[in-house]
Amino acid sequence: MGKPVVVLGIFNADTGYRAARLPKLGETIMGAGFHLGPGGKGSNQATAAARAGGDVHMVTRLGEDDFAAMARAVWADAGVKPHVIVDRESHTGSAFIFLQEGTGQNAIIVCPGAAGRISEDDVEAHRALIEGAGVFLTQLEQPQPAALAALKIARAAGVTTILNPAPAAALPDEMLALVDILTPNESEAETLTGLPVTTVAEAEAAADALIARGVGAVIVTLGANGVLWRKDGVSLHAPARAPGPVVDTTGAGDAFNGGFAVALSEGQAIADALAFGCAVAGISVTRHGAATAMPARAEVEALLAS
């Protein structure tokens, strides 16, 4: 097992609706299926990393309700160590997930509840945990000041920092300068830079623009085209792995981030860590759900060896 991976982020109970298309405003349509399951980008990433063999710690806020019990159950099953502030004045997060029949593409609305109240004080209370990490990983579903505070602690302690800038938001240069590895998808890279990102060359240009603002390296996740690593003007491309038909892409980015983080925490070389993350993501999209789709280490190794 590698050094600890500490994740700051949120848990949601995902309510997933499968249908041919999204309804228009004022319209009712019939769906093709429903599932209720564990989600939230931070929690999904922590679950992916733990199932992939990491020593993983999750810092978050939960309410005291049935969805909080769902969070604790999925973490216990995966081996994620929870560091939870229980917030009795709010509720555990939830998300509406639209899944398009046939393509597995999704559209999401997040209501973070208690996790929307994660504060800089909450982060400070976990200073020693963050300082002891090998890799610190966060996203943008909890308030930005909390993410910024945690990145400052991690950077000062020499911990490798990964920011998955999702959902997309404008970020100050002060925050970008604290990030060793930024992992936007194409649309997030566009939002962050104002540049189009539809080709590999455009992804490289966007990555270079982010590096010029202070980020150490950028991984642009390209969906079915895999991922592009960019640092110091040099690119590495890792192709997507597809061990079966794609049924649900909801947690694909989270699967990649979790897998990549745990590979880094083990000291794997960047090219190997990218391939490892792609294998975790490739398996996850062949299954329904977000956290429940994350593969076990043995499955990832089998795919990498195939």
Work out whether 190 is an interface residue with ligand RIB (CB under 6 A): no
Work out whether 254 is an interface residue with ligand RIB (CB under 6 A): yes
Stretch that binds ligand RIB, among 33-41, 207-215, 233-241, 266-274 (CB under 6 A): 33-41
79-83, long-range: CB < 8 A, 24+ apart: 79/50, 79/51, 80/43, 80/46, 80/47, 80/49, 80/50, 80/56, 81/55, 81/56, 81/57, 82/57, 82/58, 83/57, 83/58, 83/59, 83/126, 83/129
Instruction: Give the shortest CB-143-to-ligand RIB separation in angstroms.
Output: 15
Structure tokens at 79: 């081996």
Work out whether 40 is an interface residue with ligand RIB (CB under 6 A): yes
Stretch that binds ligand RIB, among 181-189, 210-218, 249-257, 293-301 (CB under 6 A): 249-257
Work out whether 251 is an interface residue with ligand RIB (CB under 6 A): yes
The answer to whether the CB of 43 falls within 8 A of the CB of 124 is no
Interatomic CA distance for residues 274 and 272, integer angstroms: 5
Give the nearer residue to ligand RIB in terms of CB position, either 2 or 38.
38
Give the nearer residue to ligand RIB in terms of CB position, either 133 or 285.
285
Which residue in the block uniquely carries the two structure tokens 């003007």?
233
3-state secondary structure (DSSP) of residue 229: strand
Work out whether 39 is an interface residue with ligand RIB (CB under 6 A): yes
Instruction: Give how many residues touch ligand RIB by CB under 6 A.
Output: 15
Q: Which of residues 140-179 bind ligand RIB (CB under 6 A)?
A: 141
E strand map for the chain? 5-8, 12-19, 33-39, 56-62, 81-86, 93-100, 106-111, 135-138, 160-163, 181-182, 217-221, 227-231, 234-238
Work out whether 5 is an interface residue with ligand RIB (CB under 6 A): no
Residue 6, C-beta contacts closer than 8 angstroms, at least 6 positions apart: 56, 57, 59, 126, 129, 130, 132, 133, 135, 136, 137, 154, 159
3-state secondary structure (DSSP) of residue 224: helix
Q: In the stretch 68-97, what mask flags binding to ligand RIB with x, by CB under 6 A?
A: ---------------------------x--
Instruction: Give the shortest CB-92-to-ligand RIB separation in angstroms.
Output: 11
Instruction: Give the shortest CB-166-to-ligand RIB separation in angstroms.
Output: 7
Work out whether 185 is an interface residue with ligand RIB (CB under 6 A): no
Work out whether 44 is an interface residue with ligand RIB (CB under 6 A): yes
Instruction: Give the shortest CB-12-to-ligand RIB separation in angstroms.
Output: 4
What residues act catalytically? 254
Burial (CB count within 10 angstroms: exposed 0-12, middle 13-18, buried 19+), residue 188: buried
Return the residue of 56, 110, 238, 275 that touches ligand RIB, per CB under 6 A: 110
Instruction: Give the shortest CB-214-to-ligand RIB separation in angstroms.
Output: 25
Which spans of this chain sit near ligand RIB (rule: CB under 6 A)?
12, 14, 39-41, 44, 95, 108, 110, 141, 250-251, 253-254, 290
